[in-house]
Structure 1
């Protein structure tokens, strides 16, 4: 419509200008005739006789011929009834008489033009037809462009990583072929990611999981043990070796099928007993032995665990060739921060040999005084201490910086600390497991979350906090978080990073996933920690928009000499390619960092870069 109006307006102006040009052309002709006649018959009666009629024929209302001395000839139409002030003046010099000039006053073009109804009806009908055609074309273009806009919106959502939300497009999208092609490609991409996740699990299963029992294998167990011993937060713990002494006789008498059945039943019994404590790492140490890693445990607690395990194992039905009273033995060795992992294993094996010398199902623990005063305080004493910390607001925080490969700070992680009655600082890795056992985990998480939300207001870098996912997805906590999101600027929301353990993220249902996605859409960033500690599906990477994936320290420790760890890290990096930034935790040596960079890890956290500092 605007185009038609512009065309009509342009045509009208052009036609008007052409009329003025035609009028000026006629007036020039009159001036040329008068200039010629002045040379032939100046001051003759004939000139005054024919000129008025000729001027009337050209609709000239006033004409004056003048020179420097004044007007020498004037013509004025006496019968003109219009307003002389509306006449258009023109001034022309005479070419043959340079001292003379002519001034002419005429009416505007189209002054006498009449608008006949028939002509106007035709013009109006034409304009109406054009307008209706333009409206139809505009509506058609609008419908086409609406489909293109839908396709554009869908493309933006795909670029934002929300594949599953736009897997099926609207039937109004245009072009239809592009819409169907995108649907097909999204389906193939989702299937490829799922296949990639399954392939990643297969790689890590082959590297770290025993095929028969589906437990961690010896390599993975040793990685976990070295990571725990090298973790200053762990303090103390215990290793249990569970040996099935009569397996050789069973395999010899009944072939391997019967022996495999006993191993599977034993692994199920161990899983059942350790299921209540997710921090216990269970592995198949060798063909007829299992191993348990119990962080933050004392030897007394390890012996209680051994007694409970032995009761479950003795319920397993054994073939006649096996001596039920001389079949299950357990060796126990304690460790503390800074010990040698191989030496701890050797002590557990020595304890196992001592237990076998008793010739009756049992266990033996290598006597040792562990230096830590924080582990094994007792559940009542721990609960009392933790309640005292919460009631007196005695929880304080350290911060540790996280760097990229160019040495820039990506964000700062908050690390919780408490102080016991003797004034000793206790790390979160020690008191949080007891807080969970005492039912106080949610209180500590909410305190940490509120502190982090306060810190992002004053910090230039993003602030991260490690939380239990069960706390965050509570309706009350979600409500508080969303209220905070709506009360602060969006840039401030983007500086809050929530970190969750991989084992918890991998077990979320669809409803819980939606709650985390709601936080993510409001600007809060999500990260996963302890990736690779357990062999779980990485499907959560496709479900959530994660900012960072933090490798567990067991994969990072001495990675330059561990080919299996390098394979696992490469698999995780490939699963995150283009979607999540992979970060190594616990980097302490340049050799580790160089290998990690070569594998595609470009962010790191550890003593090699910075140490925790109090806030």
Structure 2
């Protein structure tokens, strides 16, 4: 029994005891009072009657008539006259009076009407003794009525006492519940503080709990700060703070291999006049100018979707992003870089090459094409922006209008399916199947990267996400092998209340399958719309689905938000996994990330594992599972 119920039980029990005790004491007191009143009445009446009869020389017949007349008034239960020898001269006994007082009450609280006695005399001669007993029905009626009134009064007092007790319990319960929720949150790796209670004892408890929470958050923040510093050290250029070449190449490889991601653009910026500036100003001043260039690219990186800025070597910088026109951004960068070097060299030369990419492109081919565009600008000898020649991609993009018709027709004709990729433990045990949506255009199945950018412009991502969920649930219902399925959702979709309601309804329609469904959202989309994700979690978590983040680690500085998101797992971005077998900095970073997420009771999976060496390396870092081309090759899914 809970403490709150025990307190309620104690209040109710004490109130009942007080009610019964008060009622019993009152009853006994009233009964004693009525007994005494009847005794006094009987004695007084007997004395008065005896004196009245003694004042005249009364004959036996006359005495009997007087007694009969007095008895017939109905006030007495019995009247008896005895002669001096004790012989009964006259005796009248009335039948018991009928009242609405229950018989059990009379038996439980009997009223004794003590007979009143007095002597009848004529002068000095004793005629006899009169004994009379008054009717007790009225006394019973009075006692019964007083008990009812007393019960009503005590019951009202009991209700008032219970109400006041409820107020007191509520005053105690609210801060106590807050402390319990706080303790429960700590077990779930959520660190929350509560207002201090006004109840002295609970105030001490809440202060102690808040201090513990602050200490844990501080320890968590220190560990996160250490890992963020380690990440920057391993993946950043020391002069500009931008990503270094190895990290940029890893991220580029992950981008072009990410099936569900939209197409993007790559800019390579060459500061051709940097060598001359270095000779003129010296290394320190040149480094200060390079920091300004790094700050400029960092600003652009933050405002671009999936932006990543890097320093490739001494003079070359790169900017990777999605869903934006590359040339306008490149020209804006050209003008801004000229401003930085305007006071140093009016003729400072900058060459920028731009190129577009999409799923399936070889990273080396993309770099070669964009580098050729830089070389084309460099050949002209003037600061300029050059676009790369069209890349040789198997499926050339169509117009937006044509894509729109193809997507809508595929949805209408139900030309949709899910492709699956394994996510396994190191020993090959399947954790879940990661799904990717396919649409059929012209008899050919297209991966999501081909149509998602257009679908997002047309506002169709919510519909496509719901289709993917339905397909996954149908597949889970068809099989009884308990192989879980993960579905990627757009961060934009979960911002819609209508989408969340439809998604919840679909999942609730198949509760058994829902327990084997994993839903994951990109890290950057969650952190950019944290309130929307909390509402999404509130709507979907009760269905039994597992929730996680994909591409985790790109915004590691926001990891302090993780303990409040109630997630089940994270998938570490493939850019940190690429070539991890030879990157000691990333090894230390990933090991620290795993330690933190495990303390938060989360699972950690590695994305985009492409080689046996990478798989062997991550096994030693505490990662719970992995996915990627190498996993598909080693542990292919059975049909």
Question: Which bracket does the TM-score occupy, shorter chain normalised?
Answer: 0.5 to 0.7
Q: Give the one of 187, 199, 208 matched to 2:214.
A: 187
Q: Note the residue ranges of structure 2 that are not aligned, 5 or more in a row.
A: 1-9, 18-109, 113-160
Q: Give the one of 579, 598, 601 matched to 1:558.
A: 579
Q: Which residue of 2 aligns with 1:479?
A: 501
The answer to whether 1:308 aligns with 2:331 is yes
Q: Which residue of 2 aligns with 1:445?
A: 465
Q: Give the one of 329, 341, 345 matched to 1:318.
A: 341
Deviation at 1:336, TM superposition (A): 8.6
- Note the 1:133-532 alignment, pairs <5 A: 154-164=182-192, 167-168=194-195, 179-210=206-237, 213-228=240-255, 239-255=266-282, 259=286, 262-263=289-290, 266-267=293-294, 270=297, 277-293=304-320, 304=327, 308-309=331-332, 312-313=335-336, 316=339, 318-319=341-342, 321-324=344-347, 327-331=349-353, 345=367, 349=371, 352-363=374-385, 370=392, 372-421=393-442, 423-458=443-478, 460-484=482-506, 489=511, 492-510=513-531, 512-532=533-553
> 1:273/1:386 Cα in 2 relative to 1: closer, same or farther (>3 Å)?
farther
Q: Which residue of 1 aligns with 2:33?
A: none
Q: Give the one of 596, 605, 613 matched to 2:627.
A: 605
- Note the 1:63-78 alignment, pairs <5 A: none
| Distance in 2 separating the partners of 1:190 and 1:517 | 23
| Distance in 2 separating the partners of 1:436 and 1:350 | 32
| Distance in 2 separating the partners of 1:265 and 1:383 | 43
| Distance in 2 separating the partners of 1:342 and 1:457 | 43
| Distance in 1 separating the partners of 2:572 and 2:291 | 30
SS in 2 for 1:577: helix
| Distance in 2 separating the partners of 1:344 and 1:231 | 15
Deviation digits for residues 335-375 of structure 1 (CA, Å, limit 9, x no counterpart): 898887567656655654453232111345665751x2324
Residues 470 and 506 in structure 2, CA contact (< 8 A), matched pair in contact too: no
Q: Which residue of 2 aligns with 1:537?
A: 558
Deviation at 1:416, TM superposition (A): 0.3
Deviation at 1:243, TM superposition (A): 0.8
Deviation digits for residues 474-498 of structure 1 (CA, Å, limit 9, x no counterpart): 1112222444566554x55433321
Deviation digits for residues 442-464 of structure 1 (CA, Å, limit 9, x no counterpart): 33223223434444545523332
Residues 571 and 606 in structure 2, CA contact (< 8 A), matched pair in contact too: yes
Residues 500 and 539 in structure 2, CA contact (< 8 A), matched pair in contact too: no
Residues 355 and 362 in structure 1, CA contact (< 8 A), matched pair in contact too: yes
| Distance in 2 separating the partners of 1:375 and 1:173 | 72
Q: Which residue of 2 aligns with 1:589?
A: 611
| Distance in 2 separating the partners of 1:154 and 1:314 | 51
More helix by share: 2
| Distance in 2 separating the partners of 1:457 and 1:171 | 54
| Paired residues, number | 479
Deviation digits for residues 98-130 of structure 1 (CA, Å, limit 9, x no counterpart): xxxxxxxxxxxxxxxxx9x9xxxxxxxxxxxxx
The TM-score with structure 2 as length reference comes to 0.63
Deviation at 1:280, TM superposition (A): 4.9
Deviation digits for residues 595-614 of structure 1 (CA, Å, limit 9, x no counterpart): 11110012122344437879
> 1:379/1:398 Cα in 2 relative to 1: closer, same or farther (>3 Å)?
same
Residues 197 and 539 in structure 1, CA contact (< 8 A), matched pair in contact too: yes
Residues 560 and 595 in structure 1, CA contact (< 8 A), matched pair in contact too: yes
| Distance in 1 separating the partners of 2:316 and 2:438 | 38
The answer to whether 1:567 aligns with 2:588 is yes
SS in 1 for 2:521: strand
Deviation at 1:282, TM superposition (A): 2.5
| Distance in 1 separating the partners of 2:262 and 2:222 | 40
SS in 1 for 2:559: coil
Comparing 202-211 with 553-562, greater Cα deviation is found at: 202-211
> 1:174/1:493 Cα in 2 relative to 1: closer, same or farther (>3 Å)?
farther
SS in 1 for 2:581: helix
Q: Which residue of 2 aligns with 1:549?
A: 570
Residues 304 and 322 in structure 2, CA contact (< 8 A), matched pair in contact too: no
| Distance in 1 separating the partners of 2:362 and 2:411 | 36
SS in 2 for 1:241: strand
Comparing 255-264 with 521-530, greater Cα deviation is found at: 255-264
Deviation at 1:550, TM superposition (A): 0.6
Deviation digits for residues 421-476 of structure 1 (CA, Å, limit 9, x no counterpart): 3x332212332233224443233223223434444545523332101122113111
> 1:221/1:173 Cα in 2 relative to 1: closer, same or farther (>3 Å)?
farther
SS in 2 for 1:593: helix
SS in 2 for 1:587: coil
Residues 234 and 585 in structure 2, CA contact (< 8 A), matched pair in contact too: yes
> 1:589/1:163 Cα in 2 relative to 1: closer, same or farther (>3 Å)?
same
Residues 154 and 169 in structure 1, CA contact (< 8 A), matched pair in contact too: no
> 1:235/1:470 Cα in 2 relative to 1: closer, same or farther (>3 Å)?
closer
SS in 2 for 1:287: coil
Deviation digits for residues 145-173 of structure 1 (CA, Å, limit 9, x no counterpart): 97988866653443234432x64575669
| Distance in 2 separating the partners of 1:332 and 1:569 | 32
